[in-house]
Chain A
């Protein structure tokens, strides 16, 4: 990794240079919640002022810019006795500005599924490669447990990642295009003093992020607690609304369906994000539902997050952002569910 420092005043110019060269997406304030706290979303932004980099978290994650809720995979056009297929990958350059470490770690998880696994998705790859990512470090947000998952820091998967060290930013440079960008705005080589300041700042943030949650051996614990009454307790609260998976930065389960145009001359294959908590997620041909109860569906979401994904990809799918916990109207939060499971088997 290459590190540089960037003067604080140059940040605005860097962002404006990004916006001049591509579509920009950043944290925008969209409203106020019922407790008076601001609500932010990652939305397209045209000006520096459109974005609020002091944001805590966003209601939805940034995954939609890589895995849209709905994406047309291909279209078919029928002509006289024949048909033509058209496939379009989104290749227009885009920049995601102001992502936090957890969200970049979430993209690294999605990379494992859609870029590095047996069947890479050209739809995902095209979006991922053509998206510039400028990350920023931040004080922890309420209810998050990124520290327990090691996702409060990030080492790759971005173009630039900035940590505030007082007069300037300590910039981790993750790509040539990231380097080229800040070199144009007076980036300097780091000094020993800069490194010390960076380490001190990370220690300060890490201390704030610590919430005592220890996820050690969770995959085995989940196996042991497969029949725990805890699942029935939380399952009774679950609305089966899918919101947890929709706002999750790593939930990627989806369905594919065909749609025919009204003139019957065109068809499209469309991918739509689905959720394992939705009532018909496990309905198969013939109508049998393998997970008919909210309890079983909620449980399997935790199993995929913290057990199944570990078997496949050597780390949990969850990055601890707690968007699911915050968005759940029924108040189901991963920290509480996991703590209760741990208490089931004793200290």
Chain B
């Protein structure tokens, strides 16, 4: 890639999935209008969902999914050993995601509930950073392709990337979405990190916090204003726990 007369090498990337729905990977293969230039900017070494090769000389590993089995732990450690940069892709990889809800239950009971008489080997769900060091986390369920593209451009040009520090409210305003809290819905927008372009509130669904907390969220006031609007602490805590991004914050914020 050549930009401002500087040639940048195409980073060699690989994409791996663990306990997840593979939806974030699918986002990487989405957005047709820029898919060709996106794939031209990088060199795909291993990406099961879109390519047949299984090369091992990757520099950047995008890891999707939570870690919930011992073989996954081993596989992840091997990937970490080979990758110069390890990127956690999506809410499962960043926080444990919806899978993390399993941790609130007895492991054997959860196993029996899902697999019945044929239980599988399983561990409490962990995010990627709880197993190996992570260089960059891209949250979202699924990730926002536009944001991934921005990050990839930064990786290609080798310049630092900064996520928005502010909450989703800003992006609702940018797209003229009427505040769902004003309409009587619960929405985590005021405490959740922006960057998704707020598609859920625009579609009429209050934010569930897949991107995790904004910088320095005022969780205490959020509980208070939600309560003043008729939402119980339990309802708010449950929603904050849904994607795992508020782990440690949700409990502390409950009054």
Is the Cβ of A240 less than 8 Å from the Cβ of B166? yes
Q: Report Cα–Cα, A170/B5, bound state, in Å.
A: 63
A residues in contact with B150, CB < 8 Å: 259
Contacts known (A60-B173, A242-B173); A294 close to B2, Cβ less than 8 A? no
User: Is A240 touching B173 in the complex (CB atoms < 8 A)?
Assistant: no
Given contacts A34-B229, A241-B166, A246-B173, contact A264 B178 (CB under 8 A): no
**B123-150 CB contact bits vs A (8 Å, 1 = yes)?**
0000000000000000000000000011
Using an 8 Å CB-CB cutoff, how does the interface string of B204-229 with A read, 1 for contact, 0 for none?
A: 00000000001111100110010011
Partner of A262 from the list B4, B38, B173 (CB cut-off 8 Å) is B38
Task: From known contacts A59-B178, A264-B2, infer whether A278 and B190 are also in contact, taking CB-CB under 8 Å.
Answer: no
Query: Which of A240, A242, A279, A331: most chain B Cβ within 10 A?
Result: A240
How far apart are the CA atoms of A246 and B156 in the complex, in Å?
34
A47 close to B (CB within 8 Å): no
- Determine the distance from Cα of A284 to Cα of B1 in the docked complex, in whole angstroms: 31
A-B contact count (CB 8 A): 118
Contact of B183 among A31, A41, A43 (CB under 8 A): A31
Known contacts A78-B3, A238-B218, A239-B191, A33 near B182 by CB under 8 Å: yes
- A105 sits at the interface (CB 8 A): no
Rounded to whole angstroms, the CA-CA distance of A144 and B60 in the bound complex is 55
CA distance A30 to B217 in the complex (A): 29
Is B181 at the interface (CB under 8 A from chain A)? yes
Task: Contacts A34-B229, A69-B173, A241-B167 given; indicate if A264 touches B179 (C-beta within 8 A).
Answer: no
- A330 lies within 8 A of chain B by Cβ: yes
Q: Which residues of A contact B34 (CB under 8 A)?
A: 261-263
Contact (A242, B169) CB under 8 Å given A41-B176, A264-B1, A330-B225: yes
Task: Classify chain B: how many residues form its interface, as a range.
Answer: 35 or more
B209 to chain A, nearest CB (A): 14
Q: A330 contacts B165, CB within 8 Å?
A: no
A59-B179, A59-B182, A69-B174 known; A241 vs B37 contact (CB < 8 Å): no
Assess A294 versus B218: contact at CB under 8 Å? Given A30-B178, A239-B167.
yes
- Asked if B221 and A237 sit within 8 Å, CB to CB, the answer is yes
Q: Which residues of B contact A30 (CB under 8 A)?
A: 178
Least CB separation from B182: chain A residue:
A33
Query: Chain B, 9-36, contact with A by CB distance < 8 Å: what is the 0/1 string?
Result: 0000000000000000000000000100
* Neighbouring A residues of B214 by C-beta, 8 Å: 240, 279
Q: Are B173 and A247 in contact (CB under 8 A)?
A: yes
Q: Cβ of A69: which chain B residues have Cβ within 8 Å of it? A: 173-174
Q: Decide yes or no whether B40 CB sits under 8 A from chain A.
A: yes
Given contacts A262-B153, A279-B215, A31 and B178 within 8 Å (CB-CB): yes
| Contacting pair B225 A327 (CB below 8 A) | no
* Complex interface: chain A residues within 8 A of B217 (CB): 239
B170 within 8 A of A: yes
CA distance A43 to B169 in the complex (A): 19
Q: Given B4, B5, B216, B221, which contacts A279 in the complex, CB threshold below 8 Å?
A: B216
A283 → B minimal CB distance (Å): 8
The answer for the CA separation of A31 and B170 in the assembled complex, in Å, is: 20
List A contacts of B93 (CB < 8 A): none
Cβ contacts B64-80/A at 8 Å (1 or 0 each): 00000000000000000
Q: How far is it, in angstroms, between the C-alpha of A331 and the C-alpha of B215 when the chains are bound? A: 21
B55 at the interface (CB under 8 A from A): no
In the bound complex, residues from chain B placing their C-beta under 8 Å from that of A327 are 179, 182
Q: Give A255 Cβ to nearest chain B Cβ, in Å.
A: 11
Interface string of A180-205 (1 = CB under 8 A from B): 00000000000000000000000000
Whether the Cβ atoms of B221 and A330 lie closer than 8 Å is yes
Q: Tell me whether A243 is interfacial, beta carbon within 8 Å.
A: yes
Complex alpha-carbon distance, A202 and B41, angstroms: 64
| Residue ID in chain A nearest B166 by CB atoms | A278
In the complex the two chains form, is A43's CB within 8 Å of B176's CB?
yes
Nearest A residue to B187, CB-CB:
A329
User: Can you list 22 A-B pairs, Cβ within 8 angstroms, ordered by A?
Assistant: A34-B182, A34-B184, A39-B182, A43-B176, A59-B178, A59-B179, A69-B173, A78-B4, A238-B221, A239-B190, A242-B166, A247-B173, A260-B153, A261-B37, A263-B34, A264-B41, A272-B174, A278-B165, A280-B165, A280-B215, A329-B181, A330-B225
Q: Which 3 A-B pairs have the closest CB atoms?
A: A34-B184, A246-B173, A263-B37
- A275-B170, A327-B179 known; 7 new pairs, CB 8 Å cut-off, are A34-B184, A64-B176, A243-B173, A247-B173, A264-B2, A264-B153, A330-B221
